[in-house]
Every structure is written in C-alpha cells, then in structure tokens.
Structure 1
Amino acid sequence: MATMTGVGIGLGVAQGPVARMADPLPAPTDAASTRSPDEETARVHDALPAVARELEDRGAKAGGLAQEVLEAQAMMAEDPSLAEEIDARITAGKTAEWAVFDAFAAFRDTLSAMGGYLGERAADLDDVAQRVLARLRGVPAPGVPDPGHPFVLVARDLAPADTALLDLDNVLGLITTDGGPTSHTAILAREKSIVAIVGVAEATALTDGETVIVDAAAGVVTTQPSSDQLAEARRRADAHAAAATAPVTPGALKDGTAVPLLANLGKPGDAAAAVALGAEGVGLFRTEFLFLSADEAPTVSAQRAEYEPLLASFPGQKVVVRMLDAGADKPLSFLNDADEENPALGLRGLRALRAHESILRDQLTALAEADAATRERGEGADLWVMAPMVATVEETRYFTALAREHGIRTAGVMIEIPAAALLADRVLAVTDFASIGTNDLTQYTMAADRVLGSVAGYQDPWHPAVLRLVQSVGAAGRAADKPVGICGEAAADPLLALVLVGLGATTLSMAPAALADVRALLRDHTLDDAGRVAEAALAADDAASARAAARAAASS
C-alpha cells in the first residue's frame, strides 16, 4: 500500500481500476507541403468550423458552466485573426497541419504571457488545436478512454470538452497530475459532483488496470489497497451518497449557529438548479455575461430584463450582485482595452467602472428598477450590491454613496486586495458589508498569478498568510456588527469552509454542487469547534500543513 497526495474536490470517496488518458497527438513536422496552398487552405477552412460545431454541440448537451466554456472554445476555433495566421503559413508553403500547430502555439504563448482570465484560456486553446489536427489527419481526437468498464480516470489535466461530457456511470473518480483547486478541471468536477483529486504529481506512476482509492476528503490516492481499506471506502461512499440525498436544511453548525449557504451564479438561468440544491440565496451573481460578448454597454432596460428573473427566483432571500468586474485581463472595447504590462494589477473592477461612470450608473439604475419592479409584484429578493477590486476606504465611500444615490438599500465591497483586508475596520465603517473573494485575495497575497501553472503551488487559499487576512476581516465584521461573506472557490472546500466560519465568516457562497458537502460537514461541528480548527490552521507555516492541522483538529 502506498499513498499519493493532492487537492481533493469535495468530500467524496471512490475506488476502481485506473484508465489513463491518451497522450496528445504528436506535433507535425515542418516539412514542405505536397499540396497546393489552395488545397491546404480548403482543408483548414473545413476543419475549423467543423470543430467549432462539435464543441457547440457538446456544450448544448452538457449545459451549465461547461456550455459557457465550450462555446468560448468554439469562438477560438473560428477566430478570424487566428485563421489569418494559419493562411499566412500555408501561403509560405507549409502544410495545413503545421500551419495550425504553429499558429495555435503562437496564440497560446501570447495568452499565457497575459495571465489572468486570458492566460487561463491558453490550455483551452491547446485542446482546440488538438481537435483540429485530429480532423485534418482523419483520426479521433485525444479524449477520455473507454476500457469497457467503470474506471478511475488519470490524466495530466482534462480539457473542458472532455470534462463536460464525462459518462458519470463509468467514470468513478478523477485524478490529475496538474491543476489546483481553482482550475477549470476542479471547478467543472465540483459542478458535476465528480470525486476528484487534482495536482497529484506522482500519479504519472499509475498504470492501467491497477486498483486505487480516491479519497477527496483527505486529498489522498491509495494504491494497492487492502480488502479492509476497500470495504471502508465503500462504506464511506455509501454514507456520502445518502447524505447528498438527505432533506435540505438551512446551513447551520451543530450548536444551531446559522451559517447561510448561498450560491455563486453566472446567469439568471442557473437559479432554478441552485434552489433545487438548497441554496438559501445568492452570494455572488456575476454580471459579466451581459457585457463580455457585447460591442457596447447594454442599455438599462436590457440589464433590467435579466436582473428581474434572478430576483424573482429568490423571493425574500438575499441576492448579492457584483458590479461588472472587467477591464485589463477581461478587456472590453467600451470600457478598457488598453494594453497593460501587468493586467492583474491594472485598471480593472471598480477602477475601470469609475473611469467610465456612466456604465456604473446604468448598472445601478437597472438593478434598482428591477428591485422595485419585483417588489411591487410581491416577488422581490433582498438585493445587495457590491463593488469588485476595492483597495481603499475612499473607493468604498465613493461606491456606497453612489449606490445609495441610485436607491440601493444595501451596498458593500469585495475584499480581494490585501490593502482592503488590512483596513477592514475602516472599510466596514463606511459600508454595509464585505464579501471576501478568496481567489484574488490569494493571488495578490502570494504574488502568484492564479492561472499560471509555474506558480500554481502558491495559489492555495489554505496558506496561513491568506487565512490571517480573512481573520482580520472577520474580526472587523464582528466589531462593527456587519456581515462578512465568502464568495471565492475556498467556500466550496468543506473543511476550509469550517475554518472560514471559525475566522469570522457569517455566510458562505459557492458553486451549487458543493452545497450538500459543506452543509453536512458544518452540521457536525460547533462554533467553538470551528474556532479551534481555524486556530490550528493559522498556527501552520504553509498551506499543506495548515490543511493537515485543520483535518486533525476537526477529527479530534
């Protein structure tokens, strides 16, 4: 028996034989084409839209977040500037295969260098290139194996197109050698409730057919397990499945302390599924879907039409709407598309909105009108709005005053920058609430791009430095008697959710699929337990030891 460690997604446990993902297609050689440029160009112009349609079809079948990701990939396949680069290489005498390989590689390097949201798209571009190459060669695209029986999938990482359509009757669990808790693979695995452990570097040693136990709660892969270990894993899997189908109850600790469990949503159509999974409201509604594919800012009426059904889906419950978080790493031609040396530190979030205040005012107007309209019909939610990427007390005061001017009753800010966390007492003195975005807070605390693979080891919200900042905000919230929510991916990790409550978080917001696991773990611990587990994590020197210390404290 041996063990391998990584970052577990959720609390599930699975067991079964390994099936490894096939290696990527080999790169084509840079040889002169034996076809005419017109013939090579025609081949490419057939392959690119065919791959785009395939990705769109997969997205339509998958739905949810996966559909959004796959539609973005389809747009990559038909990007006019990319097609121009391919055509230029073919005109120079290259084969269609080499032109595609080389042009996609150049675009990938450009995106990787940008970091942030665009850097995250680089891996997606690799998958599109592989699919186009496979079509040109007349071979199947690399993808999930089909050994003819249920299996534990082992891969370097999974492309969104593969994760979206995993056959959950056959894929018992997932192990990846790359990626972290905020990678696309982790996020999609959580959304689909797949038992997964990511970032298991040693998994390259696993071979087809060998039996493993995938313990996501512990973040441990066990090889060559004993019959007793297999039986215990089966018992835990059955207990976890039973808990997932138990009646939904409000989020609370064992001693009755209420901890409302809210949903992170990207569009109004996601609301029904969140309600079905027990969401007690919305802790983060991302409004970017209205803006990112537009050539100009949407009108007040267009925005209002989207906000009204969202609010009506949660009558009487809290709905926290984040103002447009774009600019720099998510450039918009009508907001900010200027080239920046370091987009993560550039004109983004509230900074970009403040530079184009009419867009901010329109968004606040649309939200206030939607709130008034739904309340008049007797189906209104408790609307809260918050500004992203707030760094100073002055910015907090500016946004809160502007929101009140537009009739918003409850206004707050996101704590994603260490400066705001360190001044949380003063920030909360001039606004109604704070919501901690753990993804960006970790990025800025550790000076590590959240989507850059070479520094992925730093991008872990378990790091005690990040937890200390959360503790500071939690203490400020208690002193001011103001709510402090968590809306980053950290809240979807059940054990970390307990720690965050111990550090002062009053609500937790997450991907809806994570609600059941978090609800179950909180129910087994008191507020005193949460404080004790949090102290154990804070006393550690690094993320891995903080996670281990918290796990030990929670089980004692």
Structure 2
Amino acid sequence: MTNCTQPGLNLTELIKSTTQLNKDGLTIGLVSIDGLIQELNLHPYAVAYPSDLNDETQTQLLNQCDGNPAEYFVSALAKQLIQAAKLAGEQPLRVRLSGADSHQRQTLLGAELEASEVNPLIGLRGVSRFADKSIRKSFELECEAIKRARNAEGMTNIELVIPFVRTFSEAATIIDLLAEQGLCRGAHGLKVHLMAELPANALLADKFLQYFDGLVIDIDQLAQFSLGLDQTHPSLDYLHDDQNEAVLLLVRQALKAAATTGKGCAVVSHYIEKAPKLQSWLLDHDVDTVITQ
C-alpha cells in the first residue's frame, strides 16, 4: 500500500483473508467475516442446510468439507479468528459479522439457496438476515465460530461489530439473538459495536448507542447510501465522494454522539489515501486512525 497519508494520521488494516494475517508489521483495525467466508468459498446457507442442495452440489460440498460442512465452516472461521486475536495481542480485535448483500455472495458454493433480489444492496442483509427464522442456522454457525474462538481459546479480546442495523428494534433484536447464542453483551467483557453505515445510524447515533458499546463509522457506505450510489455500478464511480458535505455532516453527527456518550469510535474508509481533504477533516475532528484496505 502506497502511504499517501498526512502526518498524524495512522492507517490500520481491514482483514478479509488469512494471507493478510501473514504480513509483516500488520496492525489490525477490523476483521470481516464476509471476507473470510469468501476465502472459504462456501455459502453459509449451503453449510447450514446441505440437504437443500441438489445432489451434485451437495456431493461437492461434502467432499470439500470432509463430510461435515457445519463443523468445517465453524472450525475454519474459528481458526482464522484465533490467529487474528493472537496477533492483536492485548488490543481489542473488532470482528464484523456477515453483512454482504446477496449479489456479493452469488459466486459461493451453494449460493442458489439464497433468493435472488431485485435490489440486493438494500435487501435481506445484516440483522434482517440474522433474524430470519428460515435461515437462522447460518447465523448460529457464525456465532459458534466466534464463541469457540473467544471462549475455548481464551481470546476475550474479540469484540463484535454488527452491520446493517436499520432500526432501534433491530438493535434490540441482535443483542437478544447474540445472547441466545451465548454471546451476551457484557459477559466476560464482551463488547458489541454498531457498524454505522446507514444515514439513520449517524443521525440517531446517540439513541443507537444505548444498545451498543461503540461505533465503527463506515464513511464509504454512508456516502453510498447518502448519495444513492451502488458501488457495483461502475458508470457511477465518478459520483462517489467521501468528502461530500452531506456525508461529512453524518460523520460529524456520529463522532459527536460517541464523544457525548463516552463510547469508543473507529472510522473506516477505503478511499482515504485518495482523499486528502477528508484526511485533514478527520484530523481536525480528533480522528487520528483510519481502518482501510
């Protein structure tokens, strides 16, 4: 990565693969469960419900997973999380639960089990997906991997980041769902953070923070939803602007809420090195570390 950052601004890394974990001088800012799942090339629904697959895909899945897809999936994720947690040492390791839209997961083995959506960007993802009883087992396996890494291996520095929380009701729901899976907020020091990626998260951050221990502000996602963009639509790339006044207003609101409530706040931007004005703006607002990739 070419370092084009201004003095005083530090970059940490968004981890999406085990390859990244082997880099020298790595400073982990956030681990993406979505990225680790992509690396496994296994759709969570296929792992959770292998009998729903056609015979050919089911055979391929069983061969790849040594006959036990659920255990293979959980063990692989747990192993990656343990490695990351050890690298983080005494520092917290923020782990973002799966929040990718259905379009991003369509190349995974067994993706045919996930319904096709007209607009996956604002479709079934994040908490709405976790809460869906018809596919709940895929969420449970994800939780089992986190629990196994955090409890069985003693990696209590692992903290959770929840993506795509649309409403306060969803905020309450995810805290309850996690508790049902043995991941109780506050138990054994477990912290649960909100991935602030929707305008509602930023505008009402003070109220959302009643349910969470902190924020992880995704500036790119805020820009996408504030400006009505789709990052998979290349002809609209020229409109993406993390330095847009509306976007910065949302970021400022979220930062203010975190400061007022005394809760932690991290910032994510994949375009930070190409946005000198944003770098200056963040430094002016007492943000000296940005998670990027």
User: 1:456 aligns to what?
Assistant: 237
Alignment size in residue pairs: 253
Amino acid at match of 2:174: F
Deviations, residues 249-295 of structure 1 (Å, cap 9, x unaligned): xxx95xxxxx875321112331232xx3352xx22211224434215
1:140-539 aligned within 5 A: 191=1, 193=2, 253=8, 261-273=11-23, 276-277=24-25, 279=27, 282-292=28-38, 293-295=41-43, 296-297=46-47, 299=70, 300-331=74-105, 333=110, 337-355=114-132, 356-375=135-154, 380=155, 382-405=157-180, 406-407=182-183, 409-493=190-274, 495=276, 496-503=278-285, 505=287, 507-511=289-293
Instruction: Please give the secondary structure, in 2, of the residue aligned with 1:429.
Output: coil
Q: Is the 8 A contact 2:131 2:173 kept in 1?
A: no
- Measured in 2, the distance between the counterparts of 1:462 and 1:262 equals 20
Q: CA deviation at 1:325?
A: 2.1
Distance in 1 (CA, whole Å) between partners of 2:114 and 2:120 is 10
Q: Deviations over 1:397-449 (max 9, x none)?
A: 22233334523501112111111111111111111111112222111100122
Distance 2:285 2:147 in 1: 33
AA at the equivalent of 2:30: L
Asked if 1 retains the 8 angstrom alpha-carbon contact of 2:196 and 2:218, the reply is yes
Structure 2 Cα separation of the partners of residues 344 and 302 of structure 1: 27
Unaligned runs of 5+ in 1: 1-190, 196-215, 218-239, 241-251, 254-258, 512-556
Are residues 336 and 457 of structure 1, via their aligned partners in 2, closer, same or farther at CA, if it must alter by over 3 Å?
A: farther
Let me know the Cα RMSD of the aligned residues: 2.8
Compute the displacement of 1:384 (Å).
1.2
Cα distance 1:467–1:404, how it changes in 2: closer, same or farther (>3 A)? Answer: same
Q: Give the 3-state SS of the residue equivalent to 1:371 in structure 2.
A: helix
**Aligned CA distance change for structure 1 residues 466 and 289 (closer, same or farther; 3 Å):** closer
Q: Deviations over 1:200-231 (max 9, x none)?
A: xxxxxxxxxxxxxxxx78xxxxxxxxxxxxxx
State how far apart, in whole Å, the 1-side matches of 2:95 and 2:103 are. Answer: 21
CA deviations on 1:450-503 (whole Å, 9 max, x unpaired) are 232332222110101100000010010011111111123144457323422434
Match runs of 1:125-144 below 5 Å:
none
Indicate the SS of the match to 1:308: helix
Instruction: Evaluate the alpha carbon distance shift between residue 301 and residue 271 of structure 1 in structure 2; reply closer, same or farther with a 3 A threshold.
Output: closer
Partner Cα separation in structure 1 for residue 93 and residue 273 of structure 2: 18
CA contact (8 A) 1:404 1:411 kept: no
Q: Distance in 1 between matches of 2:91 and 2:273?
A: 20
Contact 2:15 2:35 (C-alpha < 8 Å) held by counterparts: no
Partner of 2:52: none
Amino acid at match of 2:264: P
Structure 2 distance, partners of 1:505, 1:351, is 31
Q: Distance in 1 between matches of 2:127 and 2:113?
A: 12
For the residue of structure 2 that corresponds to 1:472, the secondary structure is helix
| Aligned mates of 1:302, 1:431 — CA distance in 2 | 28
Residues 403, 411 of structure 1: 8 Å contact kept? no
- Alpha-carbon separation, structure 2, partners of 1:457 and 1:402: 40
Bigger RCO (CA 8 Å, 6+ sep): 2
Change over 3 Å in CA distance of 1:361–1:503 after alignment to 2: farther
- Which amino acid is the alignment partner of residue 365 of structure 1? E
3-state SS of paired residue (1:435): strand
Cα distance change on mapping 1:272 and 1:498 into 2, 3 Å:
farther
In 2 relative to 1, CA 368–271 (structure 1 residues): closer, same or farther, beyond 3 Å?
Answer: same
Distance in structure 1 (CA, Å) of the matches to 2:199 and 2:230: 15
Would you say the 8 A contact 2:14–2:29 is kept in 1?
yes
Structure 2 distance, partners of 1:505, 1:425, is: 18
Task: Please give the TM-score of this superposition, normalised by the length of structure 2.
Answer: 0.76
Report % sequence identity: 22
* Structure 2 gap ranges (5+): 48-68, 185-189
| 1:490 to 1:508, Cα distance in 2 relative to 1, 3 A | same
Question: Could you tell me which residue of structure 2 aligns to residue 146 of structure 1?
Answer: none
Q: 1:307 to 1:424 in 2, by over 3 A?
A: same
Q: 1:453 to 1:362 in 2, by over 3 A?
A: closer
Give, as a single letter, the amino acid of the residue that structure 1 aligns with 2:177: L
Whichever of the two has the greater Rg, that structure is 1
**Residue deviations 1:38-74 (CA, integer Å, cap 9, x gap):** xxxxxxxxxxxxxxxxxxxxxxxxxxxxxxxxxxxxx
**CA 1:374/1:418 → structure 2, altered by over 3 Å: closer, same or farther?**
same
Structure 1 length-normalised TM: 0.42
